[in-house]
Amino acid sequence: MNRSIYFLRQFLKQKLGKLPAEDKNSVKIQKQKVIVDREKVLECSLNLMSKVSNRAFLEVEYKGEEGTGLGPTLEFYNLVSQEIKSYKTPSTAIRIWRAGMSDNSLFPAPINVVSINPDDDLQRIYEVFRLTGMMIAKSISDDRLIELPLSPVFWDLILGKKMNIFDLERLDPNLFKVFADLQVLANRKRDIDKAVFFDQDHKQRQLNTLKTQSGARLEDLTLAFTLPGFDTIELKPNGKDEDVTLDNL
């Protein structure tokens, strides 16, 4: 669970004090003990989480080791979170989380699904993301702390919030500057094209003066229709072979 959620729950506990007593129709929450292989924490987690009851407190015991209870269980949450954060696909070693996040939060990395094995890597990526959600949900229901700090932008996407280009600034300020610069050029070109009092020659002269904030002409930047920083991810079919110009921006 994100630290902010965890500490909010602890604060509310202290603020509310003693909770109301259970009524006679309430069901006592049971503990569910699971055995985990320390050397295969991720694999065990993928297999176990679908079998763990939502209404039972998770209690972990490690295979071949003595001891169970709160200590091993908290260690399990920590081990799983580290495995999830550092996960790479088996055959192509692709990381599923963006690197270099300024706040060290987690946001899915762009992945070229064409270049990975759909029956192996793609399926496992889906499983790890699903495990991420299940572990966070379980940590909330069991009141455990888990080091999976999802990006606020990712939370907004999960909750179905309508996004726009300005949300990109919260995720990647440098990438936002690139797209914002291109958006300004596109808007200025649109305004020139719509001008009714200019003849075509005047419009073309105006278009020739359009430059980026750095003072460069768009065509001189030799941009292609690929995601900046991820040359293998095309933004349109055959995008890597098409230069970005004012006419197709």
For CATH 3.90.1750.10, list the domain ranges present in the chain: 3-158
State the pLDDT at residue 4: 58
Distance from C-alpha of 232 to C-alpha of 93, rounded to nearest angstrom: 15
For residue 58, CA distances in Å to 55, 143, 154, 235 come to 9, 11, 27, 43
Q: 173 burial class (0-12, 13-18, 19+ CB within 10 angstroms)?
A: exposed
Rounded mean pLDDT for each run of 10 residues along the chain, 249 residues in total = 56 58 54 88 87 81 85 92 91 86 89 78 90 90 88 92 89 88 89 82 84 84 85 86 87
Domain 3-158 fold is Hect, E3 ligase catalytic domain fold (3.90.1750)
Long-range contacts of 15-24 (CB under 8 A, 24+ apart): none
User: Which phi-psi region, left, alpha or beta, contains residue 160 (left: φ > 0; alpha: ψ -120 to 50)?
Assistant: left
For residue 152, CA distances in Å to 2, 67, 123, 155 come to 11, 37, 25, 5
For residue 33, CA distances in Å to 43, 73, 137, 191, 223 come to 17, 10, 18, 66, 55
Residue with token string 């990647």: 172
CA angle 224, 238, 188 (to 5 degrees): 40
H/E stretch holding 71: helix 70-85
Q: How far is CA 161 from the centre of its chain?
A: 14
